[in-house]
């Protein structure tokens, strides 16, 4: 899991795993694939392993699932 000391200003590059994240490039946020809003790493709870993208909340994740159906 990510530690507070791993964070640096800017967008992080993440590899999304089943129950964890792998930090590829340090940063303090990622971008929601649906809304384009910044998601602080500490608040990141929703992502797709298959599509390797993050979502700001459950509604954004559901929207993306419907789009891909």
Give the tens place of pLDDT for each residue, 13-59: 999 999 999 999 999 999 999 999 999 999 999 999 999 999 999 99
Separation of alpha carbons 64 and 68, rounded Å: 6
pLDDT tens digits, one per residue of 6-16: 557 899 999 99
Separation of alpha carbons 4 and 39, rounded Å: 15
């Amino acid at each position: 899991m990510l530690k507070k000391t791993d964070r640096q200003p800017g967008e992080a590059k993440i590899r999304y795993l089943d129950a964890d994240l792998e930090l590829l490039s340090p940063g303090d946020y990622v971008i929601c694939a649906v809304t384009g809003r910044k998601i602080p790493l500490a608040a990141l709870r929703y992502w797709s392993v298959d599509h390797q993208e993050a979502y700001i909340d459950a509604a954004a994740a559901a929207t993306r699932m419907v789009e891909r159906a």
